[in-house]
């Protein structure tokens, strides 16, 4: 048996896997902070619910990736401090994120996360890493559908110019 056969958890990670997981973990920890801040600014209850779901999903991803890196002895990136809760009415109007801006940022994060998950899947030679990021990809796609539906329902979606056939 070769070094890359048998239980994937017994196989070493290559440098690309280590860098991909470490970078993903650092960025994901930062997203939690962003979502906590956005939650302070969100006025719409449906958007607040999606932000809470995003925080929960993202925290689970952090736990999963941290466990994997710890098992292989990779030092973890720093974790930013949790953000305190704020009263929306106390945030000056000109300093607030608006609900459509928050929803657009959430959609952007989902799209970027899908690309990153696909990249890590494609670079992985360990099946457990590819499967973990496949799970993240499916969860992000389902969550992205919820964000899209919310932006449509609330009238926040700004589509690019639509191509309408003149025939």
Q: If the chain, 167 residues long, is cut into consecutive pieces of 10 residues, what is the mean pLDDT of each piece?
A: 63 92 98 97 97 98 97 95 93 94 98 98 95 98 98 95 83
Assigned domain for 63 exists: yes
pTM of the model: 0.90
Total number of domains constituting the chain:
1
Output the pLDDT for position 4.
59
Assigned domain for 144 exists: yes
Containing structural domain, residue 23: 13-83+96-153
Give the 3-state secondary structure of residue 71.
helix
Output the pLDDT for position 12.
87
Output the pLDDT for position 125.
94
Output the pLDDT for position 165.
83
Q: Name the phi and psi angles at 139, rounded to 5.
A: -65, -40
Output the pLDDT for position 49.
98
Kindly report the CATH number assigned to the domain that includes residue 43: 1.20.1260.10
CB-CB contact of 124 with 130 (8 Å): yes
Output the pLDDT for position 3.
56
Assigned domain for 55 exists: yes
| Closest C-alpha among 2, 9, 15 to residue 126 | 9
Assigned domain for 27 exists: yes
Assigned domain for 160 exists: no
Output the pLDDT for position 1.
40
């Amino acid at each position: 048996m070769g070094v890359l056969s048998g239980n994937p958890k017994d196989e070493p990670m290559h440098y690309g896997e280590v860098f991909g997981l470490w970078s993903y973990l650092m960025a994901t920890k930062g997203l939690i902070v962003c979502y906590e801040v956005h939650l302070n600014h969100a006025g719409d209850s449906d958007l607040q619910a999606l932000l809470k779901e995003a925080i929960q999903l993202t925290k689970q991803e952090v736990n999963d990736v941290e466990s994997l890196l710890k098992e292989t002895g990779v030092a973890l990136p720093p974790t930013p401090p949790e953000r305190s809760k704020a009263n929306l009415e106390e945030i000056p109007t000109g300093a607030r994120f608006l609900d459509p801006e928050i929803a657009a940022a959430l959609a952007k994060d989902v799209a970027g996360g899908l690309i990153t998950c696909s990249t890590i899947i494609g670079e992985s030679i360990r099946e457990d890493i590819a499967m973990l990021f496949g799970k993240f990809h499916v969860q992000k796609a389902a969550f992205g559908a919820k964000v899209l539906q919310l932006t449509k329902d609330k009238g926040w979606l700004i589509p690019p110019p639509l191509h309408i056939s003149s025939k």
